[in-house]
């Protein structure tokens, strides 16, 4: 037995009165007037006018019927009331039985007819009571999806625009009076109960299917007529909003501001807990309000890259890589987040590839050099300890730690890393630096012109240039050039030179072309065009026969160098071209060696390659291979291995 069955009749009636009052407050909470009628269905004969009030005192059955009538409006039918509120006191069940069994009870129709159907019948009744011309005006203005202008309506019915406005004003007043109370008002109150402050036409139509019914005369669905005839709610983009779309967005945004944390994040389930919408519709509505749902969380205002990184880290609760953050947000290019990750103060780099929120208190990873310096301090550190911590904590490779620990400001002795004393000198020799070649009696840098060169940015050069110019750590040197002094600096980030844009323009060298950067051993700085980078030549590209007069020139003979079908000669020319050796230089060396043969071409190219690497022209091949490997020149190594190994 339910505990409510033990209550006295007087107590039960009091509870019903209280419930009826509270339910009324739910729908008209903003209306403090004392003459607000209870939200009940109106009898049929009161459908087109104001609801009458009974002066008779309410008894138990009357109150029960009132509550049942009210709940049926909220739930859509008396059946749903019974299904939802089945565990109720006996006198409620008694009222249900009396109402359903009585064919003459005035409330039986109210409970039996769905509230949306009663509202639809009322609007159809209103429409037919107007004259044909008035019906035409209402239909064109509100019905059938027309929403015609006053001028268009006037033209159709033979009236002026102003006269149409006057007629519409009278019709609107009559309709508003009829729908301000009764079935339409009750239906809107029930819709507000289920959808406030915002819901969807789809969800409300599932509870009140009659909303989709097309009204006769109006030739439009019920939900649309409620939208155009009553300003207590607005339907926009499929959303039912109380009182309008913009106010609902504002209320939602204010609610999110109160619920989200510092980074604009709140668990989706917390929003769901206070919402009546389905999960899918709630997510769509939040997106309408400028928020995004990711990883079961709501993020407000995710308009900047920094905001997205912060939110992703906040949601994950642990460091993430840019690829992982991009995947969370569905971003195809993770590098678009890189600038924000470096510039936002609340975000730190916690390892080589991962980022964290500064408030987590994790150690910030700046660079391998800074990591080693922080551990060495003013004393020393064990290399094995550095490798163990660096690989596990910061994701740095052991080889990188060894390299940094034995160069620049650090020295490595018997597995102990310490700082160098006095001025720090560059550790890499010019001959060990990839891209530097011995040409015209001095080391020169072969490089392809890029966008940074053309826009006037400084550019990095091999570490061997700092050694070549005798620079110390943090020192800059000015070298005269045709465009004034050219600066070259060596610091912890590497060796860099100033802008060469004007020199490139003066020489007519374009982006994508190769050039020689000549430091003149510190006496004068100049640039000049380098031999174009030719595509790798294949054996089948070479004709076994020499060119005849009138034939299309063979590109392999350019500069006087003729190649036979031997793949060896082709590969040697490829290697020479890769290192910036021109065909003219190859032709001259062939001539010096006594004439052109396949073997002479190989010897000419091999001697020039050795010379460009800072070796003697007759250096053995093993010395050439060793020098290329020491320079970490993978492309050149691949070519010589194909030739000689």
Q: Write the CATH number for 412.
A: 1.10.10
Residues 224 and 147 reside in one and the same domain: yes
Whether the predicted pLDDT of 11 surpasses 60: no
Q: Assign 307 to helix, strand or coil.
A: helix
Residues 525 and 587 reside in one and the same domain: no
Residues 95 and 124 reside in one and the same domain: no
Residues 87 and 138 reside in one and the same domain: no
**Phi-psi category of 76—alpha, beta or left, where left has phi over 0 and alpha has psi -120 to 50?**
left
Question: Which CATH number goes with the domain that contains 522?
Answer: 2.40.330
What is the rounded distance in angstroms from the CA atom of residue 385 to the CA atom of residue 598? 56
Residues 119 and 239 reside in one and the same domain: yes
Spatial CA neighbour of 530 closest among 444, 609, 432, 640: 444
Q: Which residue segment(s) compose the domain that 85 sits in?
A: 62-101
User: Which domain-ending residue is among 243, 273, 300?
Assistant: 243
Residues 394 and 473 reside in one and the same domain: no
What is the rounded distance in angstroms from the CA atom of residue 113 to the CA atom of residue 271? 35
Spatial CA neighbour of 107 closest among 72, 75, 66: 66
User: Which domain-ending residue is among 243, 263, 286?
Assistant: 243
Residue 543 lies inside a defined structural domain of this protein: no
Whether the predicted pLDDT of 58 surpasses 70: no
Minimum mean pLDDT range among 2-16, 391-405, 599-613: 2-16
**What's the token pair of residue 532?**
């174009």
Residues 606 and 507 reside in one and the same domain: no
Q: Give how many domains the chain has, as a whole number.
A: 5
What's the distance, CA 5 to chain centroid? 59
Give pLDDT tens digits for 334-378: 888 988 888 899 999 999 999 999 999 999 998 998 999 999 988
Whether the predicted pLDDT of 330 surpasses 50: yes
The per-residue pLDDT for 64 is 57
The per-residue pLDDT for 514 is 95
What is the rounded distance in angstroms from the CA atom of residue 209 to the CA atom of residue 223? 10
Give pLDDT tens digits for 378-389: 889 999 999 999
Q: Name the residue with higher pLDDT: 151 or 53.
A: 151
What is the rounded distance in angstroms from the CA atom of residue 262 to the CA atom of residue 314? 9
Give pLDDT tens digits for 516-563: 999 998 999 999 999 998 765 444 444 443 334 443 334 344 444 444
- What pTM was computed for the model? 0.54
Q: Which residue in the block uniquely carries the two structure tokens 């924000």?
A: 340
Residue 218 lies inside a defined structural domain of this protein: yes
Residue 302 lies inside a defined structural domain of this protein: no
What's the distance, CA 335 to chain centroid? 12
Residues 122 and 202 reside in one and the same domain: yes
Residue 40 lies inside a defined structural domain of this protein: no
**What's the token pair of residue 630?**
């020491």
**What's the token pair of residue 109?**
């129709």
DSSP 600-624: HHHHHHHHHHHHHTTS-TT--HHHH
CA distances from 352 to 320, 342, 371, 390, 406 (A): 11, 13, 11, 9, 20
Residue 322 lies inside a defined structural domain of this protein: no
Residues 77 and 147 reside in one and the same domain: no
What is the rounded distance in angstroms from the CA atom of residue 46 to the CA atom of residue 185? 13
**Phi-psi category of 414—alpha, beta or left, where left has phi over 0 and alpha has psi -120 to 50?**
left
Q: Over the range 241-250, which residues count as b (16 or more CB within 10 Å of their CB) and which as e?
A: bbeebeebbe
Residues 177 and 140 reside in one and the same domain: yes
């Amino acid at each position: 037995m339910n505990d409510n069955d033990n209550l006295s009749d007087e107590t039960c009636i009091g509870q019903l009165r209280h419930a009826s009052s509270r339910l009324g407050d739910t729908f008209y909470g903003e209306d403090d007037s004392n003459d607000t009628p209870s939200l009940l269905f109106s009898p049929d004969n009161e459908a087109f006018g104001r609801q009458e009030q009974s002066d008779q005192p309410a008894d138990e059955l009357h109150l029960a019927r009132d509550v049942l009538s009210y709940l049926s409006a909220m739930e859509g039918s008396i059946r749903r009331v019974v299904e939802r509120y089945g565990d109720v006191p006996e006198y409620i069940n008694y009222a249900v039985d009396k109402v359903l069994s009585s064919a003459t009870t005035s409330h039986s129709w109210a409970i039996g007819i769905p509230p949306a159907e009663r509202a639809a019948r009322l609007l159809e009744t209103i429409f037919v009571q107007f004259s044909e011309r008035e019906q035409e005006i209402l239909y064109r203005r509100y019905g059938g999806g027309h929403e015609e202008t006053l001028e268009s309506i006037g033209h159709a019915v033979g009236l002026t625009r102003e006269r149409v406005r006057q007629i519409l004003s009278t019709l609107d007043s009559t309709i508003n009076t009829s729908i301000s109370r009764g079935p339409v008002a009750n239906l809107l109150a029930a819709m507000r109960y289920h959808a406030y402050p915002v819901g969807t036409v789809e969800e409300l139509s599932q509870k009140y299917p009659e909303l989709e019914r097309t009204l006769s005369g109006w030739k439009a669905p019920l939900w649309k007529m409620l939208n155009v005839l009553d300003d207590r709610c607005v339907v926009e983009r499929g959303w039912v909003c109380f009182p309008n779309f913009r106010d609902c967005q504002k209320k939602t945004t204010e609610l999110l501001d109160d619920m989200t944390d510092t980074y604009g994040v709140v668990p989706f389930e917390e929003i769901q807990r206070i919402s009546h919408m389905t999960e899918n519709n709630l997510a769509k509505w939040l997106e309408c309000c400028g928020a995004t749902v990711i990883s079961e969380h709501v993020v407000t205002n995710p308009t900047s890259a920094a905001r997205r990184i912060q939110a992703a880290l906040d949601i994950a609760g642990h460091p993430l890589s840019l690829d992982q953050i991009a995947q969370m947000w569905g971003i195809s290019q993770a590098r678009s987040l890189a600038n924000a990750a470096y510039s936002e103060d609340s975000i730190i780099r916690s390892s080589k590839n991962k980022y964290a929120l500064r408030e987590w208190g994790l150690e910030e990873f700046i660079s391998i050099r800074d990591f080693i310096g922080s551990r060495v301090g003013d004393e020393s550190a064990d290399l094995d300890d550095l490798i163990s911590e660096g690989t596990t904590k910061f994701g740095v490779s052991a080889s990188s730690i060894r390299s940094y620990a034995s160069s620049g400001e650090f020295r490595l002795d018997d597995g102990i890393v310490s700082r160098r004393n006095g001025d720090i000198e560059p550790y890499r020799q010019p001959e060990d630096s990839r891209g530097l070649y011995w040409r015209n009696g001095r080391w020169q840098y072969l490089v392809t012109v890029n966008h940074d060169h053309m826009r006037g940015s400084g550019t990095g050069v091999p570490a061997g240039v700092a050694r070549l110019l005798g620079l110390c750590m943090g020192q800059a040197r000015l070298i005269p050039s045709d465009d004034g002094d050219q600066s070259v600096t060596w610091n912890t980030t590497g060796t860099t030179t100033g802008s060469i844009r004007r020199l490139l323009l003066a020489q007519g060298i374009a982006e994508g072309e190769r050039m020689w950067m000549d430091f003149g051993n510190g006496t004068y700085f100049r640039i000049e065009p380098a031999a174009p980078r030719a595509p790798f030549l294949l054996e089948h590209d070479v004709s076994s026969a020499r060119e005849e007069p009138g034939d299309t020139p063979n590109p392999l003979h350019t500069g006087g160098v003729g190649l036979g079908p031997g793949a060896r000669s082709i590969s040697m020319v490829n290697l020479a071209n890769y290192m910036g050796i021109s065909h003219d230089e190859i032709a001259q060396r062939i001539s010096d060696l006594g004439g052109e043969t396949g073997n002479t071409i190989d010897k000419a190219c091999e001697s020039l390659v050795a010379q460009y690497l800072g070796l003697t022209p007759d250096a053995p091949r093993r010395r050439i291979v060793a020098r290329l490997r020491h320079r970490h020149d993978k492309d050149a190594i691949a070519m010589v291995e194909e030739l000689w190994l």
